[in-house]
Structure 1
Amino acid sequence: MSGDNQTLQKAFGTKDVLALAFGTMVGWGWIMLSGAWAASAGMLGAIGAYVVGAILCVFVGMVYAELTPAIPCTGGGVVFSYKAMGYWPAVIAGLATSFAYIGVAAWEGPAFATAIDYVVPIPKIGFLWTIQGFDVYGSWALIAIAASVIITMVNYKGAKQAAIFQSIATIGLVTVGIIFVFGGATRGDISNTKPLFTDVKGFASVLLMVPAMFVGFDVIPQSAGEMNVPLKKIPKLLILSICAAAAWYMIMIMTTCLSAPAAVREAGVIPVADSMAYAFGSPIWGKICIVGAICGILTSWNGFLYGGARVLYSLANAKMLPAFLGEIHPKYNTPSNAVLTCGILSTFSCLLGKGALVWFVNASSFGVVIMYLMVALSFCFLRKNQPDLARPYKVKYGKFVGAMAIFVAFFFAWLYTPLGPSPLIGIEWLLVIGWFILGLCLAFYAKNKYRYFTEQERLIALFGEE
């Protein structure tokens, strides 16, 4: 295949793809939230929520596993939805996916500054404002902004640089994780794990966050146009990345509970770091843990900024968003303007402080479930309407898998509504609704401005020319 959609550099090998997906999924959330998950649901309750979440997400992963090698073009849900359902469903899928990615990337800046502050306290200079009880200072925000600029430039200069960066940071993350598990297993106490289970509401509150914690494997479809990997290998990488992340989260919840009593975990500034320091008997180990946390922040940040830019590029390249976002850098072969747009949004969030973290996690999770729904619907429509589509990998029991993937999306969506146990709050709904209103306005603008762009040209832009 060749065409506008295929001008991105083929930079990712098998190890790069796995590092991209696993590093993006695991990120920083487990460092900050493992203690909170155990406090909400108990150790076994929190682990159980991840077991349920992993099983549900595997159904969605199987849908992606069939569609990605069948339609190996940059954009993931955008190209799937366009081929299955047409123009506007593709726009909705793209807006949901970009919102999910950029929303998670947006909380990496505050998380990074929080991690640095734990290791080396940042002087409180230049008070800006208070958000959610957290005082934001210019000195603190500047640290986050500097990191955001670096991540943006890594992505701006090329996919291969982003892949190398991702692999190195993932190795650092896993190394610290292994040390933490060793400490919990050899120095922890089983009595620290109580309570094992709290109640259904606590279980539901942990389950609510699962979509945001697992989002990341779907950056594999976003990178399809830049992968140098056999198509038949892609499904295995998808499912393997989901299972690896699920195992990681469950092991880290168990290790956090073993390492320190509930009082230490719940009172800690960064629960996993405080638990590691407690288990090893020295605060230096908490700082070592944060080094791994910083690696996790960088892998997640890098992966989501990468994925978000590719979604915007895919829409803009097909003239479904302003063409400015679809331009390829003549030297680096990256969607440079899309990267800069995502980078600017991520940098702006650095000014909001740690108090805004939960807003971005919950709001982006809602974007994730819309993304899952659109991809699951695409799978079902293509199975019915295009049974002869070449599928290098075909999922068994397709009707059941498709129905389960749709059920998963609706189930998670229900959790966020006022009818569910943990609904989104006002500011979170404002983020969701505001993004879609802005995106649809830009989409209507593009549809009117690029009326000359024919359907054949759009198909070539999205899928390449055979």
Structure 2
Amino acid sequence: MEERQQLKKTLKPHWVWAIAFGSAIGWGAFVLPVDWLSMAGPLGVIIGFSIGAVLMIIIGVSFSSLIEKLPVTGGGFAYAYYGLGRYHAFICGWFLTLGYVAIVALNASALALLGKFVLPSIVERGYMYSIAGWEVYTGEVIVACVSLAVFALVNIRGASSSAFSQFVFCICLFGGVTLLTIAMIVHPTSSFSNLQPLFQPGVGSIASIAAIIAIAPWAYIGFDNIPQAAEEFNFSPKKAFRIIVIALVFAALTYSMTVIATGIGQPWMEAVQAGSVWGTAMIVENAYGTIGVILLSFALIMGILTGLNGFYMSASRLLFAMGRAKVLPAAFGKLHRSHKTPHVGILFTLAFTLFAPFFGREALLWVVDMSALGVTIAYFYTCYIAYRLFKWSDNNDKRNNKRATVAPRRKFLCLLGILSSAGFLLLLIVPGSPGFLSTPSWIALFVWLGLGALFFLVKFKHIRAIPKAEMDHLILGDFKDKEETSDMRDDLENASS
């Protein structure tokens, strides 16, 4: 059995919290509140995001259960392998890879977008062309590419430095949002009456809330970065669930505060009708002038940087796990000689995302919208596999459940996670639903599926030829229960052989 490369255990609990919370809060929390208000009204948005956070916490039960069982990097890729075998692992890993890498690129483009609002004379220089109605400038491409290169370097130099930076960014992020919200509440022109009506007129409270719940998988993508870092925990994996809950609560509070800060400054329906490109900035500027916009921009920059940093970490760890398992070229499974970081995955993410700014933000949004589907599929895999870890009682001793632990409450929560994941999936794929993917996103999805199918066919013989014991060792490591892989997985492996 060849030597298995392993990541160093350097991450502290509050750093992991920052990875999850910071990754879940991006540009949307600061740029989209007026759009959300137009969909659901203030109370509809807050209730929708709160319910979404609760559903994510339920899904988090499955993640934390598998983190305790399998404290290895790879997240959904490793869990799909553990429960259903190498082919399902490839499918899950393929979807997650695009999701994580696309969000890295999106955050870099968001930094350039902020520059267009705040420093247009600098960023909007050197007009190049237009794609999907979006004008691409040399200035914004340089801003995005430089930010991508800087965070690649930070991540290569060590998990400790990138995780500590993430924690500092998150403190600044939450502190900035809290200060901004308090400032808007105490301003003389602000009034809670501006939040009326609480729901979007003519839509109904239930439909308004459902429209916000539909975007919860997109809004909270990032808490699932925690399992990608599990191999680097310098603490007990049993703390994972508490960290997930705290991160999601902070994320829900942040979304709620930005909505309140936006809606309280002036009647929110007037803000919607104004049609401003950045409604929140317009309202804050009306109240506090340039100082207010600076504070808002500071919090937004922190949100963008936490997304860049957090998803660089998760993307590189996922690529490392797949490379170590020989599903991807073996180079991805190697660690940097000095820094002991998955540098090949980081450099690949950098190379892949450096092309993104040239395609314009609108085209990139199509890919990111599609990637929400891939992340939701990973949620479903995780909840299903966690569900099979437990059984309702000792009387239930079916063949595929004989090694499960009696834990009816956890099994019930995992079942709710399955249903929640399936519901999110339907909201994305059923025509007429609030989260239904746009036509360009469907095209991007089928292109990615086609590439995945082609890559799988090329690698099929190689992946199939790896002995099961070796792949167990490479993906699952030496944890004490590695021989207790599920009977369903064994059946699938034997059938494929």
Q: What TM-score, normalized by structure 2, do the two folds share?
A: 0.87
Return the offset for 1:176: 1.2
Match of 1:196 in 2: 198
Q: Is the 8 A contact 1:19 1:166 kept in 2?
A: yes
Find the partner of 1:246 among 228, 245, 252.
252
Return the offset for 1:99: 2.4
Q: Is the 8 A contact 2:80 2:382 kept in 1?
A: yes
Return the offset for 1:203: 4.0
Q: Which whole-Å CA distance do the structure 1 matches of 2:230 and 2:29 have between them? A: 28
Q: Is the 8 A contact 2:26 2:107 kept in 1?
A: no
Match of 1:71 in 2: 70
2:236 alignment partner AA:
P
Match of 1:108 in 2: 107
Match of 2:433 in 1: 421
Return the offset for 1:279: 2.9
Aligned: 1:118 with 2:143: no
Counterparts in 2 of 1:292 and 1:65: CA distance versus 1, 3 Å:
same
Match of 1:365 in 2: 372
Q: Is the 8 A contact 2:64 2:238 kept in 1?
A: no
Return the offset for 1:182: 0.8
Cα-Cα RMSD: 2.2
Match of 1:458 in 2: 471
Q: Which whole-Å CA distance do the structure 2 matches of 1:347 and 1:175 have between them? A: 31
Question: C-alpha offsets along residues 376-398 of structure 1, whole Å, 9 cap, x if unaligned?
Answer: 11112333646646x8xx96513
Q: Which whole-Å CA distance do the structure 2 matches of 1:65 and 1:109 have between them? A: 30
Aligned: 1:401 with 2:413: yes
Match of 1:274 in 2: 282
Q: Which whole-Å CA distance do the structure 1 matches of 2:460 and 2:364 have between them? A: 35
Q: Is the 8 A contact 1:154 1:162 kept in 2?
A: yes
Counterparts in 2 of 1:43 and 1:357: CA distance versus 1, 3 Å:
farther
1:273 alignment partner AA:
A
Return the offset for 1:60: 0.5
Q: Is the 8 A contact 2:80 2:381 kept in 1?
A: yes
Match of 1:381 in 2: 388
Q: Which whole-Å CA distance do the structure 1 matches of 2:191 and 2:164 have between them? A: 39
Point out the more displaced range, 428-437 or 314-323: 428-437
Q: Which whole-Å CA distance do the structure 1 matches of 2:197 and 2:112 have between them? A: 32
Q: Which whole-Å CA distance do the structure 2 matches of 1:10 and 1:85 have between them? A: 28
Between the aligned residues of both structures, percent identity stands at 28
Instruction: Kindly report structure 1 stretches of 4+ aligned residues shifted beyond 6 Å.
Output: none
Q: What TM-score, normalized by structure 1, do the two folds share?
A: 0.92
Question: C-alpha offsets along residues 413-439 of structure 1, whole Å, 9 cap, x if unaligned?
Answer: 111124342321221112222223323
1:133 alignment partner AA:
G
Counterparts in 2 of 1:321 and 1:204: CA distance versus 1, 3 Å:
same
Count of matched residue pairs: 460
Counterparts in 2 of 1:352 and 1:260: CA distance versus 1, 3 Å:
farther
Return the offset for 1:355: 2.6
Return the offset for 1:123: 4.7
Q: Is the 8 A contact 1:104 1:360 kept in 2?
A: no
2:128 alignment partner AA:
L
Q: Which whole-Å CA distance do the structure 2 matches of 1:210 and 1:361 have between them? A: 14
5+ residue gaps, structure 1: none
Matched residue SS, 2:337: coil
Q: Is the 8 A contact 1:113 1:144 kept in 2?
A: yes
Q: Which whole-Å CA distance do the structure 1 matches of 2:267 and 2:327 have between them? A: 53
Question: C-alpha offsets along residues 38-59 of structure 1, whole Å, 9 cap, x if unaligned?
Answer: 1211111111211221222121
Match of 1:313 in 2: 320
2:242 alignment partner AA:
K
5+ residue gaps, structure 2: 392-399, 480-497
Match of 1:21 in 2: 20
Matches within 5 A, 1:108-257: 108-121=107-120, 122-187=122-187, 188-198=190-200, 199=203, 202-257=208-263
Q: Is the 8 A contact 1:118 1:290 kept in 2?
A: no
Question: C-alpha offsets along residues 165-209 of structure 1, whole Å, 9 cap, x if unaligned?
Answer: 211211221221111111122122123223321215554443332
2:112 alignment partner AA:
A
Matched residue SS, 1:197: coil
Q: Which whole-Å CA distance do the structure 2 matches of 1:395 and 1:313 have between them? A: 33
Match of 2:451 in 1: 438
